[in-house]
Structure formats: structure tokens, C-alpha cells
Amino acid sequence: MTDKPATEQELIVGIDLGTTNSLVAYCDEKGPRILPDDQGRAVLPSVVRLNESDGSAEAIGHEARATAIEFPERTIHSVKRLMGRGMQDVKNELSQLPYRVVEGEQNTARVAVGGHVISPQAISAMILMELKQRAEAALGKPVRKAVVTVPAYFDDAQRQATRDAGRIAGLEVVRMVNEPTAAALAYGLGGAHPHKNDSLVKEKSAGGISLSTKLNPEVCAEDAKPQAAVPNTQDPTPNTQSQTIAVYDLGGGTFDISILRLEQTENGAVDQVLSTAGDTHLGGDDVDQMIIQLVMREVREQFGEKLQFPPATQQALRKFAEATKIKLSNETSADIEIDLGDGKLYKRTLTRDELEALAKPWVDRTMDACKQALRGAKLTIEEIDRIVLVGGSTRIPMVVEAVGDFFEAEPYTALDPDQVVALGASVQAARLAGTRQGGLLLDVIPLSLGIETMGGAVAKLITANSTIPARASEIFSTYAEGQTKIAINVYQGERELVADCRLLGSFELTGIPPMPAGLPKLNVTFVVDANGVLTVTATEERSGRRARTQVVPNHGLTRDEVQQIERDSFAHAKADMDAHRLIDLRLNAKLDIRNINKQLDRVGKGIEPGYHDEIEAHIATVQGMIDSPDDQVDADVFQQAMHDMDHATIRLAEVAIAQTLKGDLKQ
Ligand code: ADP
Ligand code: MG
């Protein structure tokens, strides 16, 4: 038989088959990535609308969810709750499921629609089939194998049912991975598989150019190892021991906290689930309900107790409540406006504080489960190495804060919490397929890390080849008067200008009290931990305002790309340096002119007209250079013009100071 060449790589995808949402991911040499649908959507709602006459799928995903309230008895959501369960097990679920659940063979729970009885496996298979097709369209190849994730507490029957669902969908489930384990794998936790130090690192040790604009560098490797890129002569063995990880997963309808011990081996991860706790009926949906209840109560107060909410309104209200909740994860208030017809308009503003007050008991319940999980694992908080956040509801700032406070550490948030389980499944899949590990696992930082400064230059805080873990911090200030927020853009690369580097992430530090330019003291700290996760924290020290972001710098980068970036930086070193110098010259020139104009205002007629004109002429020359395009201004000439202007204004400065002193004495 000549079916397929032995060299053909096995294509194995990773699938997160969720209660609320499902996703498919693939991991190649660039690391793991989500395969979106043809409209670019990453998430597939785990919802299927069945046809009453033949029991087939009429709509899957977004469309099925959109019409859920219209067709409650045949729109199947949360089928994961029924997978591999007996009628006895799901008794308590039934009141919450709008569709009919009946008893099938051997007491199994089945879904009944019209005259048809359908197994939960068959419905899950419809979702898997959709993901399979999506993957095939994205990868341009048939997909027959998958790693599928299941909750850590799934028993054998539930796991078997998941495997069967795959088979029905035409997918061989080559491995089932616990969801928390997958999340940890996406972050490369559990100890990196030791790499041979290859040419990449050695080549870099030839030394690089450093054009950093640092004012106050304060770089040190956390473990006090020398920073320089000395290639290790023996195998580097970064964190090969196991790690103890808490995975906090707050989704739409379920909450799980798992404590696990994870170790990575040649063939993938070996995990030991030390304990799990949680609540199978606690999730983001509850917060939506809180908003719905609040709105319905207020609408009735305002327009009469008897006001009815027909299904279409309820459907709209549900969508709308979720949108409001999500808005409040990013903003501090959201306007609500509902037109109830007949000139009835309900309007109010919901603040984040109000929502947090409503949701506080809800968050507290998850914390109780965390305590229980720790007790179950017989561990103390100090024994937990990392905390990983999973599930869309962990985007709620209050949740991140509560988890951080409880575990007394910054939880991992670098990866999209909706996607992290699927990404981790694909990492495991790649390992089983024998393809790349996914992501660059190194004991040094392959490319420099920094932030954008005024004029589009990059200030590098951590330079290429720093040993992991590494930390650096630097003080910056503002350029504009009364600036109340500062955008921090985090870049990776060896070039001098942001346009030639790779944007890793952005965040804003807001709420800074207005101060004169140059006065705010912005401390920016970069920490790359042993797992290669970068946390950037910005603190305005005078006001104590603080914000942060977290990214995995090596995701989406291949070794070849790293080397190409390196070569580019050498090739452009001179041009880059000039460009960077021009940016700095322009900035300083603008500040100088601003200063001179202030002094001119102050001295008024205190200097003779001829001297005044002379200064104006210098300003005009320098201003001309500020305004010229890069290719029409020579940095040396520019610098000379500034120097001349400075020199010519020495006397002006003296007069201005004298006048100020006089003024002060008069007062
Ligand atoms: P599941 O694991 O149950 O399939 P997900 O992890 O996909 O669920 O989480 C879905 C939940 O996350 C929903 O309740 C959704 O409203 C919520 N969610 C998504 N994004 C945000 C956000 N930015 N802020 C708050 N909640 C969010
Ligand atoms: Mg989930």
C-alpha cells in the first residue's frame, strides 16, 4: 500500500471542549496559536440547535447561541455536563437545562428533541466536527488526530465519553489532558526540557551593539549569575525539577481550582493532580444574572410591577448584560439604555464599583474553594510556585486582584484566558507528533526587551542574551505638561526604532495627577521569570499609581526569525544610530526652544532689540531642522546649530535669572 509517505508529519491539533465555549489550536515552530473560523473568531460557543424532525444539527456555535431563547427546547448548551453521566448523576442539573433529558441505555443521560433521543457524545461530536473543519480550512490539510482537554475531576466514564465523541467526529483522541495541566503547559511550566545550546546562543556571544537610551540603568540577573552571554559549555538545565501550580479556572458556568505538580519529559507532561475543588454552578453567567436582576427590578420599579419580559427581550437582556459586564472589565463605568417601547426608556450608569459590590460574595465563594484545595493538597500558600488564570471571567480585574491577594503572588495573565487551555493542548499535541516543542525555550533572553520613548525610539531595559531570570528597572518622565496618563508600549528587537521592532503588548497608566512636564517619576520594571514570562510594571512614584501587563516574548518567534532580526540590526546599526540620535536631538531642541521662549517672555524689554533678533534667528534655524525630514538633516549640523543657540542664549539666561531674583525680592 502506498498510502502516505513515512516522512509526512502527523498533524495533531489541540482542542478545548468547553462547557460554554470550545476552541482548536495548533502548535508549530512559531509556538501555539488558535485557529479561528472564517470570520476570525477564536471561540466556538458549545451550543447546538437540533432539528426536530431528524435530530440533526441545524446550527452550531454563534448562530445557535443567538437563538437559544427562541428555541429553548431544542438548543442544546452545556452538554458537557451530561457527558458520561447517569440519570442519577445529573438529577440536579435538570431544572437548569431548558431541553429535555431522558434516560437511555444503562441509565445514561440522553437528550430528547422531537421524537429523537441523542447521546451527549453525539452532540459533542457536532461541536468537534465543526472545530475539525475549521482546523482543516486553516491548515489546508486533513486533520484526523487531536489532543482533547477534560476537567481534572472527570472520571473514567466521562473521559471515555469524550473519546467517543471524538471518534464520532472522525477524530482520534490521541491523548486526553487535564484542563489545568494544559493551561500550565501553554506557559511552558513544569520545567523546560533541557536544550542543547545551539548556534543561536553562541553566535550572539560575539557581542552586539548597544544603543540604549537608558538614563538610569539598573540591570541585574535575579539569580546573580553574570549577565553576559557566555555560552554554556555543558547543557543548561533550567528548572528541570517539577513545579507546583495552582490553576484558577473561572469560566461561564463552572469554577475549578486545581493544584498540580507538573514535570515535563521528552514525551510531554507528567502531571499529578494534588487536589481539585470548585463549583459546577458558579461562573460568569451568575454575574450576567446579577445585572439582569438589577435591571429588571429597576425597570419594574420605574414602569410598573406587572411589566412582562417576552423571550425576545430576555434574549436581548442576556446579551446586553454580558456586554455590560465585559465593558466594566476595561472601563470604570458603562451606560445602560433600554428602549422598552411605548416611550418607556430605562437609563442608568453602572459603575465598576457597583458591579464589584454586587459580585463580591461571588468572588468570595471561589476563594473558599481555593482554601479547600490547598487543604486538600496539604500545601501552604508559600509552596505554590505559580498561579495560572484560565477562563473568560478571570478578565474581571477584581478576580485577578482577589486571586493575587489570596496566593500572595502575581498570577499569570500573559495568555488569553479563553485560549490558554486550547493552546496548551496544542503544545502537548506538537510534542506527541514529534514536531517542535513550540516557542523558544532558552535559558537566555534571545532578543532585547524595552519600551517606546518619545519620538518612536526604543529604550531597551533588558538586552539580548541576559540570563533568565532577569530584572531591570529604569526611571522615565513625561514630556507634555499636565499629562494624566502614560501609554507604555513594550517592544522586542535589536533595532533602535519601534517601527523596526516587534510590539509585544501595551497598557496605560492612568490617574496620574497633573504635573509639569518632567516632574512625574515613572518607574518601569521588567521581570522575566524562570519560565520566560515577562511582567512589565509601571509605577508613577509621586502618586503611587501603578499598572502592569504580562506577555510571553518568545511566542510566535522561530529561531530563524531571531537570527534574521539579529542580522538586520547589524546591517542597520549606523542608520539606526543616526535615526535615534535625530529623535533625541529633536526632543532636546524642542525643550530648549520652549525654555528660551519662556525666558524671552520674562525679560521682555530687558534686552536690546538686536540681541533679541539674534536669538530669534537661532531659534528659526533650529526649528527648521526639527521640522525637516530625516534625510534632509545632518545630525552633526543639527547638533552644532543647537550648540550655537545654547551659546548665544547664555546672556539671556543670566538676565532672566536676575529678573526673577529681583521679582522674588520685591515680593
Ligand atoms: P467555559 O470554560 O465555561 O467554556 P469560558 O472560559 O469561555 O467558559 O468563559 C466564558 C465566560 O467568560 C462568560 O461568562 C463570559 O461572559 C466571560 N467573559 C469573557 N470575557 C470577559 C471579560 N472581558 N470580562 C468579564 N467576563 C468575561
Ligand atoms: Mg473553560
C-alpha cell at 198: 545551539
Residues 628 and 534 in one domain: no
Residues 581 and 496 in one domain: no
Residues 61 and 155 in one domain: yes
Q: Where are the alpha helices (DSSP H) in 555-608?
A: 559-571, 573-603
Judge contact between 650 and 615, C-beta under 8 A.
no
Q: Where are the alpha helices (DSSP H) in 331-419?
A: 352-377, 397-407
Mutate to test the pocket of ligand 1, among 326, 352, 419 (most ligand atoms within 8 A of CB): 326
- pTM of this structure: 0.77
Q: Is 35 in a helix, a strand, or coil?
A: coil
Q: What is the CATH number of the domain that holds 287?
A: 3.30.420.40
Q: Which residues contact 185 (CB under 8 A, 6 or more apart)?
A: 177, 262, 264, 269, 424, 425, 427, 428
pLDDT lower than 50: segments of the chain:
1-7, 192-239, 438-440
Chain Cα centroid distance, residue 568: 28
Residues 11 and 160 in one domain: yes
* Domain extent for 593: 575-666
Ligand 1 closest atom vs CA 43:
7
Radius of gyration (C-alpha) of the chain in whole angstroms? 30
DSSP 348: E
Residues 407 and 458 in one domain: no
Residues 564 and 623 in one domain: no
pLDDT of residue 562: 76
Residues 378 and 353 in one domain: yes
Q: Which of the residues are catalytic?
A: 16, 80, 179, 249
Residues 542 and 514 in one domain: yes
Other beta carbons within 10 angstroms of residue 240's beta carbon come to 15
Mutate to test the pocket of ligand 1, among 327, 393, 398, 399 (most ligand atoms within 8 A of CB): 393
> How many whole angstroms from 423 Cα to the centroid of ligand 2?
12
Residues 295 and 397 in one domain: yes
Residues 325 and 387 in one domain: yes
Chain Cα centroid distance, residue 540: 23
d(CA 217, CA 392): 38
Q: Which of 133, 194, 147, 184 is nearest to 27 (CA)?
A: 147
In total, how many domains does the chain have?
4
Q: Report the C-alpha dihedral over residues 297, 302, 306, 311, rounded to 10 degrees.
A: -60
Q: Report pLDDT digits (tens) over 234-284.
A: 333 444 568 999 999 999 989 999 999 998 776 667 889 999 999 999 999
pLDDT of residue 559: 74
Cβ(329) to ligand 1 under 6 A?
yes
Residues 465 and 393 in one domain: no
In a domain, 420, yes or no: no
Ligand 1 closest atom vs CA 325:
25
Ligand 1 closest atom vs CA 391:
6
d(CA 11, CA 512): 51
> How many whole angstroms from 548 Cα to the centroid of ligand 2?
25
d(CA 583, CA 455): 6
Domain's final residue, options 182, 209, 226: 182
In a domain, 196, yes or no: no
Cβ(285) to ligand 1 under 6 A?
yes
User: Euclidean distance between the first and final Cα of the chain, in Å?
Assistant: 102
Other beta carbons within 10 angstroms of residue 57's beta carbon come to 19
Domain's final residue, options 508, 539, 571: 571
DSSP E strands: which ranges in 407-558?
449-453, 457-462, 470-476, 486-492, 502-509, 522-528, 534-540, 545-551
Phi, psi torsion values for 259, nearest 5 degrees: -115, 125
* Cell 505538580 sits on residue: 261
Cβ(418) to ligand 1 under 6 A?
yes
Q: Report pLDDT digits (tens) over 282-310.
A: 999 999 999 999 999 999 999 887 777 77
